[in-house]
Amino acid sequence: MIGRRTFIGSAGAFVASSKVAAQSAAVQYIGKEQMRFGVLADIHIATAKQQPIFEKALRQMDEWKVDGVLVSGDLADYGLEQQLQLVADTWFKVFPDGKGGDGRPVANLMHYGDHDMGGHWYWDMEEARKAWPSEEERKRGIICYGDRKAIWERCFREPWAPIQLKTVKGYDFVLAHFTKGEPTNKWGHNTPGLEEFFAAHKFDSAKPFFYSQHRVPRGTVLGPTAANLDEGKSTALFSKYPNLVAFCGHCHVSASFEKSIWQGSFTCVQVPSLLYCCTMCGRENGYTTVDRPPIPPYQMMPQHRQSGLTHQGLLCIVGTKALSIRRWDFEEGKLLGPDWVVPFSSFTQKPVERPYNYEHRTGLVKPVEFAAGAEKKFKIEFTKGTDRGGNKHDFFTVSFPPAVNGLERADDYEVSVELQKGDVERCLVAKRVYSPRYMYGVESETVPVSCNFAVEEVPPGWLVRFVARPVTAFGVKGEPIATPWEFRAWGKTAKEAAEISREMKAPRK
């Protein structure tokens, strides 16, 4: 367990321990610890079978001795009171009477998300029908059709308001419940009353305060790839508060993605999902809504990770000088990357100079390189399979070791086919692909990365080679590794071409 005077690593090797051990290298002193809280999002309790995942996360946070647990929305998967009661039952099982195992108070910092207000869409799903066979019971439990205040107060035994202010050990938390479905906010793209709420409260400018909503504040974390942004009023409002640290859920993006923290005129953090995490779109094996079959069918690999296999969250430690944010894989109990350390002195800097400003980080981030000798493990196999659309192919399947340096790792990889004929050498096709262990603890990322190229993507009659480059979340590429040049014969199968290639020697450049 970290002592109450804490050293937190900012960019180096960390000791991966469920007890959150003190870090051993590249440390940045956060000052005297003042408070710590856990952060989750998108727990999506549908039936009792999801409760053990939530309980496991809460028990880990109790072991971390948190002073509160923030959940950035989507508590009840189908928006039923019965599901919210399951959430509350798990909460009080771990924190009876709102207290941890050692008797310390643990604040409930949860709030509604869009699924909590989506019961009118989800209430009749098969899983809900099996758990609660009575149609009348399910309809009666739809939160957005009932009294959401009374339902919350029945489940959690505490007062409720659309926007709430809670104070934990002297630090303010503003919690904005999702309001989708109300006549003035049909789609949930804004938070009614937020400006008036901030105007009515005075926040201490000498220390950070925290805010949480379900949707992503427009123009902040994840950039233009974020889905279902709010309409932007929150971003304009928060820009007046450089010491505000906002948390948001909804996108399910893995915390291994380094753009999950953003600093502009304030700080914003995308909280990973406890139920399942997604990748960014466009990768050959990406797992996102736009990458799901049958669109687009041309991707040559199955999705990276199926729903329910990854469970992530954050541990935040507030010191007198900085905020440390630890990224955690609850499935295996390991770190997802180096801690993010936000110095409070950065609140007085120009936004573009703040350490987690995207432009600033792009100019400073270093490439993550392959280990020495990685090219010797770069392999090509001839396999059969189907693309994302179910079409059968013969494949060139290339594989190579992941690029990992301590707790730093490549975000993904650019894998390309290069051609050579005479004095012409060029890239024919380039793909991006994730490591199969990308969403798990970084020190466990040892499984080879693979990428498929259909035989028809590699034209015969040329000398070809496959090239892999590690890429950071900010687009910085490391040094490539490559297979030897080999001849791809006209009109031959992949296996026959390989046999011919072994009989020929590539011309010297």
Cis peptide before 338 (omega within 30 of 0): no
Beta strand pairing call for 244-248 and 267-270: parallel
| Chain centroid to CA 118 | 23
Tokens at residue 478, please? 């490391």
Tokens at residue 73, please? 């929305």
Calculate the alpha carbon distances from 500 to 394, 461, 464, 495 in Å.
18, 11, 13, 9
According to DSSP, residue 185 is labeled B
| Chain centroid to CA 359 | 20
User: Taking the CB of residue 104, how many other CB atoms lie within 10 A of it?
Assistant: 13
What is the pLDDT, as a whole number, of residue 12? 32
What is the pLDDT, as a whole number, of residue 10? 36
Cis peptide before 294 (omega within 30 of 0): yes
DSSP 61-76: HHHTT-SEEEE-S--B
Q: Single out the residue of 269, 244, 412 nearest to residue 339, CA to CA.
A: 269
Burial of 276 (0-12, 13-18, 19+ CB in 10 A): buried
| Chain centroid to CA 69 | 18
Tokens at residue 472, please? 């950071």
Calculate the alpha carbon distances from 185 to 114, 117, 193, 404 in Å.
12, 12, 11, 45
Q: Single out the residue of 260, 278, 267 nearest to residue 326, CA to CA.
A: 260
Q: What is the pTM of this model?
A: 0.90
Beta strand pairing call for 261-263 and 244-248: unpaired
What is the pLDDT, as a whole number, of residue 22? 34
User: Taking the CB of residue 67, how many other CB atoms lie within 10 A of it?
Assistant: 19
Contact of 41 with 74, CB cutoff 8 Å = yes
**In the Cβ-directed half-sphere of 7, how many Cα atoms lie within 13 Å?**
13
Alpha-carbon gap, residue 419 to 346, rounded angstroms? 48
What is the pLDDT, as a whole number, of residue 291? 75
Where in 281-407 does DSSP place strands (E)? 312-318, 322-329, 334-335, 340-343, 379-386, 392-400, 404-405
Alpha-carbon gap, residue 85 to 152, rounded angstroms? 9
Q: Is 79 helix (H, G, I), strand (E, B) or coil?
A: coil
Residue type, 234: S
| Chain centroid to CA 260 | 7
Tokens at residue 429, please? 């096709």
Alpha-carbon gap, residue 24 to 16, rounded angstroms? 11
**In the Cβ-directed half-sphere of 173, how many Cα atoms lie within 13 Å?**
25
Per-position pLDDT tens, the chain of length 509: 333 333 333 333 333 333 333 332 233 589 999 999 999 999 999 999 999 999 999 999 999 999 999 999 999 999 999 999 999 999 999 999 999 999 999 999 999 999 999 888 889 999 999 999 999 999 999 999 999 999 999 999 999 999 999 999 999 999 999 987 666 666 667 888 999 999 999 999 999 999 999 999 999 998 656 666 777 889 999 999 999 999 999 999 999 999 999 999 999 999 999 998 988 888 999 888 777 766 666 788 887 765 457 899 999 999 999 999 999 999 999 999 999 999 999 999 999 999 999 999 998 999 999 999 999 999 999 899 988 888 899 999 999 999 999 999 999 999 999 998 878 889 999 999 999 999 999 988 899 999 999 988 988 778 899 999 999 999 999 999 999 888 776 556 656 766 666 665 444 44
Tokens at residue 466, please? 């496959």
Q: Single out the residue of 183, 268, 176, 259 nearest to residue 223, CA to CA.
A: 259
Domain ranges for the chain: 5-289+313-364, 374-503
- Residue range 5-289+313-364 forms a domain whose CATH class is alpha beta
Calculate the alpha carbon distances from 86 to 95, 119, 337 in Å.
14, 16, 32
| Chain centroid to CA 113 | 17
Alpha-carbon gap, residue 304 to 111, rounded angstroms? 30
Q: Is 470 helix (H, G, I), strand (E, B) or coil?
A: strand
Q: What is the CATH number of domain 374-503?
A: 2.60.40.10
